[in-house]
Amino acid sequence: MSYYFAIIGTQDNPLFEYDFGTSKQGGDGQPRFSEQARHLNQFVLHSSLDIVEEVQWTNGQLNLKVIDKFFTNYISCFMTGGNVKFLLLHQPTATAGGANTTRNSTSVGANPTSPQTEEAIKNFFTEVYDNYVKAIMSPFYKVNMEVRSPVFRQRVAAAGRKYL
């Protein structure tokens, strides 16, 4: 599974982006997006913002779960109190042949809508949210400012390795 994670500000402006691959089931943590998909991912995430705006007023939870699907890309959303969106695009790796699908059907890597995946993504979001709140606690941080801290990036990467 490959992941593309982005933090979107209140003006639909990107604040942070990071792509990574699964580290479960022997994954090496590298994203497997094609060069084209890398550019496409940004558009896919951006287009799902419309759906976020519909969902956010019907569900008061922070974690809005999977809100959108674009071909094989699933988009999960987490909404902070300050109306900043965490979007995670996850793309299952195309399985070569149907031989091992039964074994993989419950693993985080293969089935984007299973409860296990949902739980893993929830944990990932929660950890990123903690770090994001720390980032905005900086008195020099103003709303909708890009998050550039390398420490923050390391923390997001670590959360990705830990849960996804």
Partner 1 sequence: MAHLGPGKAASSKEQAGLRYPSNGKTIYHRPLNRTKTAELSQSSFAYLFSEMVSYAQRRVTGIQELEKRLNLQGHPIGLKLLDLLLTREPPRSQTRPLTIIALLHFIKINLWTHLFGRQADRLEKSSNPDTPDEYMIVDNEPLVNAYISVPREMSQLNCAAFVAGIIEGVCDGAMFPARVTAHSVGGKEEGEMWPGKTVFLVKFQPEVLEREALIGKG
For partner 1, the closer of residues 4 and 112 by Cβ is: 4
For partner 1, the closer of residues 105 and 154 by Cβ is: 154
Q: Which amino acid belongs to residue 160? A: G
Q: In what order do the strands lie in the sheet with 63-70?
A: 14-21, 2-8, 85-91, 73-79, 63-70
* Tokens (6 digits) for 85: 């969106």
Query: Smallest distance from the beta carbon of 114 to partner 1, in angstroms?
Result: 21
d(CA 54, CA 32): 31
Query: Smallest distance from the beta carbon of 29 to partner 1, in angstroms?
Result: 16
For partner 1, the closer of residues 74 and 132 by Cβ is: 132
For partner 1, the closer of residues 96 and 137 by Cβ is: 137
Phi, psi at 51, each rounded to 5°: -70, -35
Query: Smallest distance from the beta carbon of 90 to partner 1, in angstroms?
Result: 22
For partner 1, the closer of residues 103 and 143 by Cβ is: 143
Angle of helix 150-163 versus helix 115-137 axis, rounded to 10: 160
Query: Smallest distance from the beta carbon of 71 to partner 1, in angstroms?
Result: 29
Sequence length of the chain is 164
Query: Smallest distance from the beta carbon of 88 to partner 1, in angstroms?
Result: 18
Q: How many Cα atoms within 13 Å fall on the side-chain side of residue 116?
A: 10
Residues near partner 1, by CB under 8 A: 10, 56-58, 60-62, 79-83, 129-138, 140-143, 145-153, 155
DSSP class of residue 83? S
